[in-house]
Amino acid sequence: MTAVRSNRYGDGREALLAATVAVVAEKGLRGLTFRAVAERAGVNNTLISHHFGTKDSLLHAAVAWATARAIRLSDLSATETIDADFARTLVDLVAAEPHLQVFQYEFVLESRRRPELRDEAVSLYEGYVDALERALTRRGYSHPRPLARAVFAALDGLVLQQLTVADDDTVREAVERVGELLDRSPHGPPRSAA
């Protein structure tokens, strides 16, 4: 009988990307090696080379994967309002998968040191702003792009606080307040008569 290695990240390429995110979240980008990812994923490091070729290719694929996953899990582009449900979903996502967020912060900070990563870091952040802009447009906000950027900056800062200095309840309440401010915006959709 053949022993089957258990891989807690799943199978194939996605497992390697999840392992990459975890390694970078724990060790920083300077700790990213094929060996570290292979150990984390429970595979031979030649498999990583087979799928990605270079460490930079692995990193770029992991950035795209982490960003898409975080946006999808937070349901950011489908957000109709930043309310208690949204706040709970966001805080729960960060609590359940902190590596996704830490990885992205590590990448953005590394882009400051490595200018060749800047365009990709900008793209990472623009993905979030785009998702919020679509939601604000659906709600009828005028000039949604600058507002989407401001709302994202607030949410991004709160996620960073949750990862570092604030508890989940404090962040959840602050996210709800962001939603209340957004609802009071003079550039917002018409308020319904209550």
Mean pLDDT in order along the chain per 10 residues (194 residues) = 40 89 95 95 90 93 90 74 91 93 94 94 92 90 92 97 98 97 76 48
5, 56 Cβ separation under 8 angstroms: no
Instruction: Look at residue 37 and tell me if it is in a domain.
Output: no
Residue 175 to residues 63, 90, 162, 163, 182: CA-CA distances in angstroms?
A: 25, 9, 11, 14, 11
CB 185 within 8 A of CB 85: no
For residue 26, tell me if it sits in a domain. Answer: no
The domain tally of the chain equals: 1
The residue with tokens 């882009």 is 111
Q: Is residue 109 part of a domain?
A: yes
Contact 129/67 with Cβ under 8 angstroms? no
**44 near 136, Cβ under 8 Å?**
no
42: how many CB neighbours lie within 10 A of its CB? 13
Q: Which of 124, 138, 3 is nearest to 70 (CA)?
A: 124
Give pLDDT, residue 1: 38
pTM for the model stands at 0.83
* Within a domain: 56: no
Q: Which residues contact 144 (CB under 8 A, 6 or more apart)?
A: 132, 133, 136, 137
Residue 73 lies in a domain: yes
**Residue 116 covered by a domain:** yes
Distances (CA, A) of 6 to 11, 44, 62, 83, 96: 10, 13, 22, 39, 21
Asked, for residue 43, whether it belongs to a domain, the answer is: no
Query: How many C-alpha atoms does 111 have within 13 Å on its Cβ side?
Result: 18
**Quick one: pLDDT at residue 184?**
87
The pLDDT of residue 9: 43
Q: Which domain holds residue 141?
A: 62-183
Domain-embedded: residue 82 = yes
Q: At CA 48, angle to CA 111 and CA 59, rounded to 5?
A: 10
Query: Residue 139 in contact with residue 81, Cβ under 8 Å?
Result: yes
